[in-house]
């Protein structure tokens, strides 16, 4: 873990370029024994592939097969990002979707991944003030990381993401790290929490001692403040912002 500790302790020189940062990231990850890794930004509706990837490498031919078989639609590693605030092993994500209707296709994806040398790996989400902003994925042969190593990799993923983003896209770095101001009232926060539990307006009203009409009024206010399209979108945004868990 010497290279990881060195990366975490190092203070970036303001004149250091992206290639130097990338070399330090690669050195730290390779020392742990991982053959492949990617550090990406959380894509938006109009994101281009070239804008998403910050650094990393996959086995030759794997990205093409992944796209050809449309694995992004069922990828458990991506889907599990919505369930975890910390780093997790690939098998943890697979286990979470064992009862999912697409589980067989997920298994096929993992079998294909192993054929390309992606036998096992870990995913480390990077969260900012506005929710999930990036992801570090490391993979290759099976490697058991201890809890302390997982914690250090979590820290490395965050430091690597923000340092590289600041060099490659200063405007995005400033925008994503800017404080979020959401003046939700106490009642709105209570309503949002119960919505996260899947409760209906009638159920929330009975719990809060309000009419369903009043609950809907609070929900409309929350939806406007979050710029959400509907209640499902409200929950998704609230989770990314850390307003509910």
The domain spans of the chain are 2-177, 186-240
Of 3.40.50.1950, 3.90.800.10, 3.30.450.80, 3.30.420.40, the CATH number of 2-177 is: 3.30.450.80
In the prediction, which pLDDT does 240 show?
Answer: 73
Q: What CA–CA distance (Å, rounded) separates 123 from 182? A: 29
Tokens 């060195």 correspond to what residue? 6
Residues 6+ apart with CB under 8 A from 221: 188
Same fold flag, 2-177 and 186-240: no
Considering the chain, what percentage of its residues have pLDDT values greater than 90? Answer: 64
* Contact predicate 80/93, CB 8 Å: yes
**Lookup: tokens for 185:** 């009232």
The CATH number of the domain covering residues in 186-240: 1.10.10.10
Per-residue pLDDT of the chain (245 residues), as tens digits, is: 788 898 899 888 888 899 999 999 999 999 999 999 999 998 654 445 567 889 999 999 999 999 999 999 999 999 998 788 899 999 999 999 999 999 999 999 999 999 999 999 999 999 876 678 899 999 999 999 999 999 999 999 999 999 999 999 898 888 777 766 678 888 898 999 899 888 999 999 988 889 999 999 999 999 998 888 999 999 888 877 777 76
In the prediction, which pLDDT does 130 show?
Answer: 62
In the prediction, which pLDDT does 46 show?
Answer: 45
* Contact predicate 145/78, CB 8 Å: no
Within 13 Å, how many C-alpha atoms sit on residue 132's CB side? 27
Among candidates 245, 175, 190, which has minimal Cα distance to 222? 190
In the prediction, which pLDDT does 48 show?
Answer: 57
DSSP symbols for the chain: -HHHHHHHHPPPPTT--HHHHHHHHHHHHHHTT-SEEEEEEPP-TT--HHHHEEEEE--TTHHHHHHHTTGGGT-HHHHGGGG-SS-EEHHHHHHHTTTSTTHHHHHHHHHHHHHTT--EEEEEEEEETTEEEEEEEEEES-----HHHHHHHHHHHHHHHHHHHHHH-HHHHHHHHSPP-----HHHHHHHHHHHTT--HHHHHHHHT--HHHHHHHHHHHHHHHT-SSHHHHHHHHHHTTS--
């Amino acid at each position: 873990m010497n290279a990881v500790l060195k990366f975490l302790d190092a203070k970036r020189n303001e004149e250091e370029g992206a290639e130097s940062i990338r070399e330090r990231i690669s050195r730290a990850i390779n020392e742990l024994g991982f053959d492949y890794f990617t550090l990406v930004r959380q894509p938006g509706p109009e994101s281009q592939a070239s804008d998403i990837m910050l650094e990393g490498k996959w086995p030759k031919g794997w990205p093409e097969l992944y796209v050809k078989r449309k694995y992004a639609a069922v990828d458990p590693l991506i889907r599990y990002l919505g369930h975890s605030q910390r780093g997790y092993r690939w098998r943890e994500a697979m286990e979470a979707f064992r009862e999912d209707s697409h589980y067989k296709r997920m298994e096929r994806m993992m079998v294909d991944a192993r054929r390309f040398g992606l036998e096992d790996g870990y995913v480390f989400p990077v969260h900012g003030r506005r929710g999930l902003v990036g992801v570090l994925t490391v993979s290759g042969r099976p490697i058991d990381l201890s809890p302390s190593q997982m914690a250090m990799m979590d820290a490395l993923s965050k430091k690597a993401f923000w340092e590289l983003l600041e060099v490659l896209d200063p405007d995005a770095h400033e925008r994503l790290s800017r404080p979020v101001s959401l003046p939700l009232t106490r009642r709105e926060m209570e309503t949002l929490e119960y919505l996260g539990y899947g409760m209906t307006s009638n159920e929330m009203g009975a719990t809060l001692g309000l009419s369903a009409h009043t609950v809907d009024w609070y929900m409309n206010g929350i939806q406007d403040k979050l710029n959400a399209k509907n209640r499902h979108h409200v929950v998704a945004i609230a989770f990314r912002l850390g307003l509910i868990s």
